[in-house]
Each structure stands twice: as structure tokens, then as C-alpha cells.
């Protein structure tokens, strides 16, 4: 029964969702809505599990005086401080509410816009430097395929943006046309082949699951 019930539930839920996808209204749609609502609830619970796991792992490393323990302490402090501020504002504790309905005056939004957003944007912008260094060191014309990739990459990069220095109009037009051809013909054909192949794979795996053949999700 330990195996049969989960398999039966999987088959049942799988078929219900598939049926609902090809029909509108009726019992399959109602069941599908119910299952999707359960799915959203499971995701929300997963957030709590994630927080629990984060706290457990970091507390363990703080108590073991791991070399990075101060950062882990900061992580936990920020996690609970932000959570606390958010909960306090939602419930209006300490008189913490948005003044005149202006959400900009909320403490949690201030932290988000003035601290979190710039930090995240900074981290992402550093990619430009790492990509430059990686391209300089690793992008080599070692083989015919690598050379083709390199030339195509360079043309797409140039065609994507205006020319930094004045070049003859014919050259600029040729680069733009080649870039458009590479993206809309070569790239599209490749993407479609990959998408169709991957979708057939997903379809086959999905069918194996709803037919009860694939049981790897039960660690079998």
C-alpha cells in the first residue's frame, strides 16, 4: 500500500489535469482548479520549509564558529528583521502604516528600494566584467565549430547595438542584415528543433508517469 497509493494518486491527478487541459468547464476543470490551488499551497509551505532549513544550517555553522560565521549571523539577523518589519507593518503594530496611502513611506519598501534593489543590481552588473575576462581567456578559434561560433557571436553582438565608431553605411547594413539572419533564421531553426525535441521528451516522460510505468519519483 505504501507504493500503490502514491502511484494511484499520481495517475489520478495526472489524468485529471490532462483532461482539464483539453476541455472547458465541468468536473475536470473544477478538479483541476482544486489541484492547482493545492499546488500553490504546497509552494507556499515550501517557502516556510526553506526558511526553516536556512535557519537550521546557518545556526549550526554559527555555533561551530565556521570561518564565515559573522556573515551567517548577519544573514539571519536581516532575514528576521525584514520579516518582523513586514509583519508589523501589515498589522499596523507600533503605528507603522503607510502615511497617506503612500507605500513609499513603508519601512519595508524603503529597505527594498534603497538597499536590496541597488545591491542586487550591482551584483548583476558585475557580470559585464566577468564576461569580458572570460571571453578574453576562453573564447578561442580552436576548431572550425569554435571559429563559426566566435564569428557568429561577434556579429550578433555588433548588430545588436549601434556601431561605437563611424563605419561605412554598407558595412553597417551588412552587419545588421547578417545579425537579423542569424537570429531569425539560424537561431529560430535551432531553437525550434530543441523545443520540439524537448517537448517530445517531456510528453514521453509525462505519459510514463500517468501510466504508472515511471516510478523514479518514488525513489525506485
Provide the minimum distance between the beta carbon of 211 and another protein in the complex, in angstroms, as a whole number: 22
Nearest to 179 by CA among 201, 139, 151, 207: 151
Residue 197 interacting with another protein (CB under 8 A)? no
Asked if residues 155 and 179 have their Cβ atoms less than 8 Å apart, the reply is: yes
Residue 105 interacting with another protein (CB under 8 A)? no
Which stretches within the chain are classed as H helix?
4-21, 26-63, 69-91, 107-111, 117-125, 127-138, 144-160, 169-181, 188-210
Kindly tell me which residue out of 5, 64, 99, 165 binds another protein, with binding defined by CB under 8 A: 165
Residue 131 interacting with another protein (CB under 8 A)? yes
65: phi > 0 → left, psi -120 to 50 → alpha, else beta; which? left
Per-residue interface string for the shown chain with another protein, residues 43-82, x marking contact by CB under 8 A: xx-xx-----------------------------------
Q: Which DSSP state fits 164?
A: S
Nearest to 176 by CA among 190, 157, 149: 157
How far is Cα 15 from Cα 35, in angstroms, rounded to an integer? 12
Provide the minimum distance between the beta carbon of 43 and another protein in the complex, in angstroms, as a whole number: 4
Residue 87 interacting with another protein (CB under 8 A)? no
Residue 23 interacting with another protein (CB under 8 A)? no
Provide the minimum distance between the beta carbon of 73 and another protein in the complex, in angstroms, as a whole number: 23
Positions that interact with another protein (CB under 8 A) = 21, 24, 29, 32-33, 36-37, 39-40, 43-44, 46-47, 102-104, 108-109, 112-113, 116-118, 120-121, 123-125, 128-129, 131-133, 135-137, 139-141, 150, 154, 157-158, 160-165, 176, 183-184, 187-188, 191-192, 195
Amino acid at each position: 500500500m505504501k507504493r500503490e497509493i502514491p502511484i494511484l494518486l499520481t495517475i489520478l491527478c495526472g489524468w485529471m489535469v490532462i483532461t482539464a487541459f483539453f476541455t472547458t468547464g465541468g468536473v475536470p476543470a473544477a478538479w483541476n482548479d482544486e489541484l492547482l490551488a493545492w499546488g500553490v499551497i504546497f509552494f507556499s509551505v515550501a517557502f516556510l520549509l526553506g526558511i526553516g532549513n536556512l535557519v537550521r544550517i546557518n545556526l549550526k555553522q554559527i555555533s561551530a564558529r565556521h570561518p564565515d560565521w559573522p556573515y551567517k549571523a548577519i544573514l539571519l539577523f536581516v532575514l528576521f528583521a525584514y520579516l518582523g518589519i513586514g509583519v508589523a507593518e501589515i498589522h499596523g503594530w507600533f503605528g507603522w502604516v503607510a502615511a497617506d496611502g503612500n507605500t513609499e513611506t513603508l519601512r519595508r519598501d524603503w529597505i527594498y528600494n534603497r538597499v536590496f534593489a541597488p545591491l542586487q543590481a550591482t551584483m548583476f552588473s558585475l557580470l559585464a566584467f566577468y564576461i569580458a575576462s572570460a571571453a578574453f581567456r576562453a573564447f578561442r578559434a580552436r576548431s572550425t565549430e569554435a571559429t563559426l561560433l566566435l564569428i557568429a557571436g561577434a556579429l550578433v553582438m555588433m548588430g545588436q547595438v549601434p556601431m561605437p565608431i563611424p563605419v561605412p553605411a554598407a558595412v553597417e547594413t551588412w552587419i545588421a542584415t547578417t545579425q537579423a539572419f542569424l537570429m531569425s533564421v539560424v537561431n529560430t531553426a535551432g531553437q525550434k528543433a530543441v523545443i520540439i525535441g524537448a517537448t517530445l521528451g517531456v510528453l514521453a516522460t509525462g505519459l510514463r508517469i500517468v501510466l504508472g510505468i515511471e516510478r523514479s519519483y518514488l525513489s525506485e
